Structure 1
Amino acid sequence: MYAKKLKDLYLFNSLNDDEIKAIESMTLVKKLQKGEILFYEGEGADSFYILLEGELKLYKTNAKANEVVLHHFIEPTMVAEMATIENTPFPATASAQKDNTFVAVIDKENFLKLIEEIPQLSWHIIKSLTHKIKGLEKSINRNLVFDATAKVCSLIDEHKDIFQTHKKIDIANILNITPETLSRTLRKLKDLEILDENNNLLNQKKLEMLLYP
């Protein structure tokens, strides 16, 4: 059922149909509603998780019981694979940000055996982790360095169709800005002819000039 979603993931996009079917056969698909927890901080990591559809929020809770959001995962992507590979507890809690969020759960031991049978998966996991490190760098820049315009441009650069798949209030939450600030920034990008009236990207070069002045 989710073979195409698995194939879209850079980890598996070089695998043939039989190899994808082998992964499907060992996969349990979990359906989450908004606010439901996929895993808790400190919980043992005994499975690999792949976000197939929807969105997940990764966060920690500080001493005052406030959430500190670390990252938003947008489909399709692996989630917290480092903890599973390193056999360490999950460093943060993951919860669904949307209703009908679907996550593939793959037993760790079965997946590690599959890696032995399909050696190129090891290389793709390394690429996946490298991709995550780059994503973390972008997330740090978005949250600590970038102004509102750069935050929006960075997100559009990573996810070209995000305004067609997400509500504006959800995008504002991802960027840690107010909906009003997001609306003003979108109007600015439209005036600069970077976005059209439906928030589709018109000019990649102008976007990059704002993002990397």
Structure 2
Amino acid sequence: MSLKNTLNSLEFFKTLNEKDIDLLCSISTIQSLNANYILHYEKQKSSSLLFLVEGLAKAYKIDKHSNEIFLYYIYEKSLLSDITDINNKDITAYSNIELVENSTILSIEYNQFKNLFLQKNLLCLELLQEVAIKSQKLDSLVNREFIFDAVQKVAQMLESDLEMFNKLKRHDISLILHIQPATLSRVLNRLKRNNIIDIIQGKVNILNKDELKEIGND
């Protein structure tokens, strides 16, 4: 896919006219990167605004014992960069970002993007929406780590990210949710007994979405 077609395929840029798209092309590049590639590390500064066009990425931190602390997944057609202060010259990474699958990355020169678009009130609402999505992810992270019990953690992941839940190994899900594998199995069996989910050949099907959502939001 050409750079122009790539930009036109992203909802973020749908409000731009053809002239604006051409201008954006002049400050943008796309590249294909393999799985396990580290896009950036925590606190690293970058002069580029990054979007995940295709593929899958994960955000994580490393604790003082060198353990990986999973934060959240980033799906295709989403903003990868962390915007905390639009007045800063560079973008400072909140976390490490690693590609989980072979991916296509859109890179836009950040300062020129601000001058040519944001300062002309173009794409401001779109950027605000992406920042709000990041904020919601961090809010969910706080709930998952400090407020929710094991049942709520599993219910929330099933309700919000069933496809990823079924794609991952149970051991990996346990690491993400910071619960023991045996606890995960007990929770799934409990939800199945209560006819909230069914498990067929290891894959979870949701039978009662409303009740599952209620458990995850309690």
Residues 54-203 of structure 1 mapped to structure 2, 5 A cutoff: 54-62=56-64, 64=65, 66-67=66-67, 69=69, 71-76=71-76, 77-82=78-83, 85=86, 86=88, 87-96=90-99, 98-113=100-115, 115-116=117-118, 119-197=121-199, 198-203=203-208
Return 5+ residue gaps in structure 1 as ranges. none
Indicate the residue corresponding to 2:216 in structure 1: 211
* Structure 1: distance between partners of 2:162 and 2:127: 24
Cα deviation for residue 209 of structure 1 reads: 2.3
- The C-alpha deviation readout for 1:101-128, integer Å capped at 9, x for no partner, is 4433332234335534984511111121
- The C-alpha deviation readout for 1:110-158, integer Å capped at 9, x for no partner, is 4335534984511111121122112211111101111111111112232
Q: Comparing both structures, which one devotes a greater share of its residues to strand?
A: 2
SS class of match (1:80): coil
SS class of match (1:188): helix
1:48 aligns with 2:53: no
- Which shows bigger deviation, 125-134 or 48-57? 48-57
Identity within the alignment, %: 23
RMSD (CA atoms) = 3.3
CA pair 111-33 structure 1, distance change in 2 beyond 3 A: same
Cα deviation for residue 82 of structure 1 reads: 0.9
* Structure 2: distance between partners of 1:5 and 1:170: 34
* Structure 1: distance between partners of 2:20 and 2:175: 34
Cα deviation for residue 161 of structure 1 reads: 2.5
* Structure 1: distance between partners of 2:142 and 2:116: 34
* Structure 2: distance between partners of 1:118 and 1:186: 51
TM-score (norm 1): 0.77
| Counterpart residue identity of residue 158, structure 2 | I
- Which shows bigger deviation, 137-146 or 39-48? 39-48
Q: Does the CA contact (< 8 Å) of 1:45 and 1:83 recur in 2?
A: no
Q: Does the CA contact (< 8 Å) of 1:54 and 1:102 recur in 2?
A: no
* Structure 1: distance between partners of 2:7 and 2:186: 35
Q: Which has the larger radius of gyration?
A: 2
TM-score (norm 2): 0.75
* Structure 2: distance between partners of 1:126 and 1:169: 36
SS class of match (1:161): helix
